[in-house]
Each structure stands twice: as structure tokens, then as C-alpha cells.
Amino acid sequence: MKLHTLTWGNPNAERSVVLIHGVTSNAQSWIRVGPKLAEQDYYVVAPNLRGHGKSPKADGLYSLDEMAGDLAESVPNNPEFIIGHSFGGVMAIVAVVQGVLNPEYVVLEDPVLHFADKALPARLLKNDEANLPHDIEGILKANPKWKRIDAEGKLASLQAINWDHMKQVFSDNAPWDLRPTVVEIGQKKPIWLILPEKSFYVPEEDGAALRKALGSAAVINIPGTGHSIHRDDLDAFLTAVYQWIARARNRNVNQ
């Protein structure tokens, strides 16, 4: 399926980046990230996953493999790096394992690495459907560190989704455990995790295990942030990404 995308920068740029949003969100989640990366001479592509934003809906066709396969015909297949936020981290991992995307580096922002059953993601979605604010001021009150443009994007994403389809995306694909897969990817290419001050999806014991497997610098927590780190503290988020990329490039030069 061809996905609708937002883009920033020159399509002929030497380097590209793919940004993958989370469930119930859309490409507008990256509305402040994309221009910043474009300023660093990247061509930036942020797809709306199927069922999200302006991309087609696909009732009954939301398997992880189907959704990852969409990326093959919608974004650069060999970007310098990809960033997957929340469920977008799941999509990034599946796409790399399948060979749909072949980035040099992988960045996972508070990824949903493990669900033991379908019940928990179903409860999380029901809570969101019942309680997420559906106006700009309510979204800003719930997320005081966001900019207004972030809230506008979130509102647009909520207005575009079908909650039964989100159940198919999120809880119907569970259970999954991608923690060993992250380690396997890390044996082949750099993979990094940016986590909030306290992560629900990557609890402390999982973070410690991943640091042990991937290296202490591969997993960081950004103080004062919640699940959407790039909207809570964009400067800290991008600083972490740039520092990782610079170190990886230097290692490649010196090898």
C-alpha cells in the first residue's frame, strides 16, 4: 500500500531519514523534528501508517508484516537512520528484520517492545479512546511541554482514526516480544534507545538488560520527559541523536 507522507528537505540530498509515528498518531507528530533534520542536509520522510492520517484505511489488514511492507513502496529504503516512536518502534524493528528498510542506524524512542497478551494493549486503547482530550487546550493541558503545533497535529490524528482499526493495529497484533530482536539488530548495526525519565514500555529492568547487551551508552533516559520525548524536549532529543550519529561515523572513519 502506498502511504501518504510528509517530507522536509531536498529529495536529492545525499542522506535521508525515515520517521515512524506511533499508534493513533500520524506524521504530523514530527512537525518540529523534520525541519530540524532538514537543516542538517537530510531528506526527511515521515509516513502515515495505514489507517492513520491521510493514508488509506485497511479494515482487517493490519498485521505487522502488512504494515511494514507498506514502507517498502513509500519511503527511502536505505536511509542513514530511522526513528521509530512508540508503536513506530515496533514498525522500525519489523521493517529492519524483514529487510524492508536497511538503515545504517536505528533509533527507538520509548518503543513498545513487549506485550505478554492482548489484554493490556486493549485496555490502553480503551483508556485513550475514553480519556484523550479532543481539543487543543485540553491536549496542551495534558502535555504542558508541547508546543501548540504539536497539539494541533495530535488533534488532527485523533480526528482521522477509526478506533476499531486501532484495535486491529495494536492489541490484535499482540502478544509480541521484540527485546531479543533489538539485541540481534544491535549485533549487526548501531541501535539506540531514547527513553523518558520513567518509561512504562521499557521498564528499568529491561533498560538495564539492554544496556548490558548493547553497551551503556546505547540506552539513555531524558529527565523531565514523558512518552513523547521529541515533543517534550526537542533539543535534548536531537542532541542525543546527533551525538550518537557523530560517534558512529567517527568509529567508521577510524576502522
pLDDT level of residue 252 (50, 70, 90 thresholds): confident
Helix, strand, or coil here: 21? coil
pLDDT level of residue 255 (50, 70, 90 thresholds): low
Instruction: Give domain limits for the chain.
Output: 5-254
* Topology (CATH level 3) of domain 5-254: Rossmann fold (3.40.50)
Q: Is the dihedral of CA 93, 98, 100, 102 positive or negative?
A: positive
The three grid cell numbers given for residue 193, joined into one nine-digit string: 534507545
DSSP classification of residue 6: E
Q: Are the C-beta atoms of residues 29 and 114 closer than 8 Å to each other?
A: no
What are the tens digits of pLDDT across the range 136-146?
A: 999 999 999 99
pLDDT score, position 250:
85
Helix, strand, or coil here: 17? strand
Q: What is the pTM of this model?
A: 0.97
Q: Residue 255: exposed, middle, or buried by beta-carbon count in 10 A (0-12, 13-18, 19+)?
A: exposed
Amino acid in position 150: D
Helix, strand, or coil here: 76? coil
pLDDT score, position 27:
98
CA angle 156, 227, 24 (to 5 degrees): 30
Q: Are the C-beta atoms of residues 186 and 164 closer than 8 Å to each other?
A: no
Find the mean pLDDT for residues 16-30.
Answer: 97
